[in-house]
Amino acid sequence: MGGVMIEGLITYYGFEEAFLGIGEQFSKPPIAVYDREKCIELLARDMEYEEAEEYFEHNVIGGWVGEQTPMFLTRGDDLYGV
């Protein structure tokens, strides 16, 4: 499958199923956007859910890799139980 290659875009190996797209803001470089809950679910395949949450918060969200560090979206239905 073909895709758009954007110079400098940082993506995380193992979270391909959670990839939502590319986020953009005025005068900032594009960033990869992932579904936060899906990322945790993917990690939970190899550990308990609570461990996956802690790992995700500390090692993934907590890992700054530069201006194009990916963003993790919390969906509205995850917030409000819709």
Structural domain boundaries, residue 51:
30-75
* Distance of alpha carbon 19 from alpha carbon 47, whole angstroms: 21
Identify the pLDDT of residue 2.
42
Please report, as a single letter, which amino acid is at residue 7: E
Residue 10 lies inside a defined structural domain of this protein: no
pTM for this entry = 0.84
Under a CB-based contact definition with an 8 Å cutoff, are residues 43 and 56 in contact?
Answer: yes
Considering only residues 79 and 47, tell me which one the structure prediction assigns the higher pLDDT: 47
d(CA 81, CA 33): 21
**6 within a domain of the structure (yes/no):** no
Q: What is the pLDDT of residue 7?
A: 77
Q: Note whether residue 18 is domain-resident.
A: no
Q: Give a yes or no: residue 53 inside a domain.
A: yes
3-state secondary structure labels for all residues of 33-47: EEEHHHHHHHHCCCC
If DSSP codes are grouped into helix, strand and coil, which group holds residue 68? Answer: coil
Looking at the structure of the chain, the number of domains it has is 1
Structural domain includes residue 14 = no
